[in-house]
């Protein structure tokens, strides 16, 4: 049985602002023309069944609900065409740009003790196939996700 690989390349991370209250993660996924192994518009995150965003501070990691292919939207044109393999079975590979947005209201706030110095919260993207973790990528950081306990 061959191991499942998942090639996701984080491209950009946009923190929420008052004018755009969404966190957006943009990433590249390979698409192989002439092959059923690549990603397509019907299921862009295949072979993953879900993506999950987590927020990490010094003490905790909080996971949001999983995102599915329906939550991922095209973010640009195919880029960086390359060939893979050798011989007559070569396939053209394009890296397709996709994005996922998370409303700021769905993002956690960490409670900290008074006098705790503010730290940046790490944002991480995970790819899952069922319960199997296919990979994790650090995609950005957020300041101001901590609130002092009363």
Give me the pLDDT at residue 134, please.
Answer: 95
Domain boundaries, the chain: 9-148
Whether the Cβ atoms of residue 123 and residue 143 lie closer than 8 Å to each other: no
Tokens of 12: 């950009």
Nearest to 64 by CA among 97, 96, 108: 108
**Other Cβ atoms closer than 10 A to 61:** 11
Instruction: Give the domain 9-148 fold.
Output: Immunoglobulin-like (2.60.40)
Nearest to 136 by CA among 123, 148, 146, 117: 123
Give me the pLDDT at residue 35, please.
Answer: 47
**Which pTM was predicted?**
0.79
Range 23-45 average pLDDT: 71
Q: Where are the beta strands (DSSP E) in 5-145?
A: 9-14, 22-33, 50-56, 61-63, 73-74, 79-84, 91-103, 110-112, 121-129, 132-142
SS (H, E, C) 34-45: CCCCCCCCCCCC
pLDDT band at 43 (very low <50, low <70, confident <90, very high): confident
What gap in Å lies between CA 83 and CA 87, rounded to an integer? 11
Give me the pLDDT at residue 101, please.
Answer: 96
| Average of per-residue pLDDT values in the chain | 82
Give me the pLDDT at residue 143, please.
Answer: 86
What gap in Å lies between CA 147 and CA 129, rounded to an integer? 34
What gap in Å lies between CA 122 and CA 61, rounded to an integer? 9
Query: pLDDT of 77-135, one tens digit each?
Result: 665 444 444 444 555 556 789 999 999 999 998 888 888 888 889 999 999 999 999 99
Whether the Cβ atoms of residue 121 and residue 66 lie closer than 8 Å to each other: no
């Amino acid at each position: 049985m061959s191991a499942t690989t998942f090639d996701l390349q984080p491209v950009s991370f946009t923190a929420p602002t008052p004018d755009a209250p969404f966190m957006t993660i943009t990433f590249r996924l390979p698409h192989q023309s002439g092959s059923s192994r690549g990603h397509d518009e019907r299921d862009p995150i295949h072979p993953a069944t879900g993506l999950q965003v987590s927020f990490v501070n010094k003490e905790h990691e909080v996971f949001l609900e999983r995102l599915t292919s329906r939550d991922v939207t095209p973010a640009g044109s195919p880029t960086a065409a390359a060939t893979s393999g050798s011989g007559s079975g070569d396939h053209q590979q394009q890296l397709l740009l996709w994005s996922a947005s998370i409303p700021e209201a769905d993002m956690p706030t960490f409670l900290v003790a008074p006098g705790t110095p503010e730290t940046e919260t790490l944002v991480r993207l995970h790819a899952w196939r069922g319960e199997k973790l296919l990979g994790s990528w650090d995609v950005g950081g957020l300041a101001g996700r901590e609130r002092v306990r009363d």
